[in-house]
Amino acid sequence: MMRQSWSDVPREPMSEDAIRRLHSPAEKYRISPNKYEVGVNASADVSVGFMIYVLSGKCKYVSHSKDEESNNSELVLTAGDVGNIPPGRYTFQSLGDTLTQVVRVFKLPSYRPLHK
């Protein structure tokens, strides 16, 4: 897992529209905006990695290693952060005291441009 700041990439202010413009053509990506109340906790097995953009709030991903002797790693993201989440098993948690708004971007594996 890796974190960077939206401001590390010289672009317009972070918004869902700006993220959609960054990931084009639209047919190549699945873009999923979500909102989470404080304290939401969910586990998932991620088969395809994705980018996560945090528009507001704070969240955490904890990776759960298949090898019980390995340490789990954590990635805490706050508003303005961009995270790269590789395939694996994770727990997602909404932190802080405000609503967490994120946009997840998945690259579609079977994208082929249409030719006329």
Kindly report the three-state secondary structure assignment for every residue of 33-59.
Answer: EEEECCCCEEEEEECCCEEEEEEECEE
Supply the pLDDT for residue 42. Answer: 94
Write down all domains in the chain, each with its CATH number in brackets: 2-107 (2.60.120.10)
Round to whole Å and give the CA distance between 57 and 42.
17
Round to whole Å and give the CA distance between 1 and 60.
11
Supply the pLDDT for residue 87. Answer: 92
| Chunked mean pLDDT (size 10), the chain, 116 residues | 78 90 90 96 92 97 74 90 94 96 91 58
Supply the pLDDT for residue 94. Answer: 97
Supply the pLDDT for residue 18. Answer: 93
- pTM, two decimals, is 0.85
